[in-house]
């Protein structure tokens, strides 16, 4: 699996991946539910939609909006097994183990937290 620092540097160089950001509604959702709940959702989404060896509708299983995790998945190339293979070095055709699922959720977590920090109001004297 790819080191997250290396991955995030590469993602910044991708015009497609860099265009994703949390909108106001997604940020409000994270603030209202809290990161713990959002990450629980991420675990469930990854387990159901990404972890099987051959997920249903692979390559099209992740909506572009509707939940902060979905946006994060596209931004971090954790949206389908093809992107996981290309960007993360996680091979297609095998179920994701616990360590691989934890890597995917950690990637999503890091991206969402960065997005939330980017929109924090600046302290003004």
Residue 47 CA to residue 95 CA, distance in Å, equals 10
Q: What was the pLDDT predicted at 120?
A: 83
User: What value, to the nearest 5°, has the Cα angle with vertex 3 and ends 22 and 112?
Assistant: 15
**Tokens coding 121:** 């109001």
With a cut of 90, say whether residue 20 has pLDDT above it.
yes
Q: What was the pLDDT predicted at 121?
A: 75
Annotated domain spans of the chain: 4-118
Confidence of residue 123 (pLDDT cuts 50, 70, 90): low
> pTM here?
0.93
With a cut of 90, say whether residue 122 has pLDDT above it.
no
Chain segment 85-109, per-residue pLDDT in tens: 999 999 999 999 999 999 999 999 9
Residue 30 CA to residue 39 CA, distance in Å, equals 10
């Amino acid at each position: 699996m790819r080191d997250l620092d290396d991955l995030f540097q590469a993602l910044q160089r991708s015009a497609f991946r860099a265009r994703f950001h949390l909108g106001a509604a997604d940020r409000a959702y994270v603030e209202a539910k809290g990161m713990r709940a959002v990450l629980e959702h991420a675990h469930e989404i990854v387990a159901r939609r990404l972890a099987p060896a051959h997920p249903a509708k692979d390559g099209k299983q992740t909506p572009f909006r509707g939940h902060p995790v979905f946006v994060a998945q596209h931004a971090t190339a954790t949206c389908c097994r093809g992107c996981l293979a290309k960007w993360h070095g996680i091979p297609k055709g095998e179920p994701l183990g616990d360590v691989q699922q934890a890597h995917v959720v950690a990637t999503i977590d890091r991206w969402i937290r960065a997005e939330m920090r980017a929109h924090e109001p600046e302290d003004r004297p």
